[in-house]
Amino acid sequence: MPFSRNKLRDLLASGLLSLAILAVLLMAWHVATLPAPEPASVATGSGNVAGNNASDEYARLMGQGAKKTDGFPSPAQVGQTIVAQLSDPFYDRGPNDKGIGIQMAHSLGRVGIGFVLALLTALPLGFLIGMSPLWQRAFNPFIQILKPISPLAWMPLALYTIKDSSISGIFVIFICSVWPMLINTAYGVGAVRREWLNVARTLEVSPLRKAFLVILPAAAPTILTGMRISIGIAWLVIVAAEMLVGGTGIGYFVWNEWNNLSLTSVLFAILMIGVVGMLLDFAFASLQRMVTYVE
């Protein structure tokens, strides 16, 4: 069909443009990280050799034999790190040396648990607020006060009361995920067409059936929008939270590699964080399109 051909042509054009932009960025990165020529006296001096030996010895002590990078890593160095890390992503050589797959699994597990807890809290409360102006006015001051608070501001309180870093991270995910879902659910429920509710009332549909068969399908796109926003915020926050509490997770991996003087591993972790975040957003965007009614 013409529409399909036009859509395919647009997708192909956007993909080629994205590849061109990526190529330009990689070329600029490569040029910016080219080594500057050194004077002959410095390059061949014994002091420079001694300095390199001392740096290599320190790097071996701090980073499992990884040589300290002189200057910002080049694309080729980061590419080598990507291949090395992804060739064995689930290795486990002790508390401070785990593969990227294990670290990602810990982070995704915390995000998933906190997100589900927020979902179980936000959906029923959002339905209540959206269907009742009285409850909306009662809850609104609390939502407006608690919503702007940075999730990381809750971390000291969580660590003091819970006394477990992993559960504290889950609590931070919960507290940052609940507000977008709650607000979008209340808005979606409150915006359901009055005509549909009047028809359900005329047919004497029970409140439970009305909630699942009328209100939920109509509010689903808005609810999914809140979930999409929440999962993005949750993935953003867990990295910072794991940097603070340590232990396991992609945030701890970034901090640990920085302490090991391995900028290539830090850049690799940043790339993986972005890719996983993109996949999470793509998944919720696909769900949102599935439940969106197009007239």
Query: pLDDT tens for residues 137-192?
Result: 999 999 999 988 888 888 888 888 888 888 888 999 999 999 999 999 999 888 88
Q: pLDDT per residue over 248-269, tens digit each?
A: 889 889 988 888 888 898 999 9
Task: Determine the Cα–Cα distance for residues 260 and 58; give it in Å rounded to an integer.
Answer: 10
**Domain residue ranges of the chain, discontinuous segments joined by +:** 106-247
pTM for the full predicted model: 0.80
Nearest Cα residue to 250 out of 239, 234, 266: 239
Domain 106-247 fold? MetI-like fold (1.10.3720)
Task: Determine the Cα–Cα distance for residues 215 and 231; give it in Å rounded to an integer.
Answer: 23
Lowest pLDDT segment from 129-138, 172-181, 193-202, 212-221: 193-202
Q: What is the pLDDT of residue 219?
A: 87
Nearest Cα residue to 227 out of 277, 189, 184: 184
Alpha-helical segments (H) within 44-132: 46-62, 75-87, 100-131
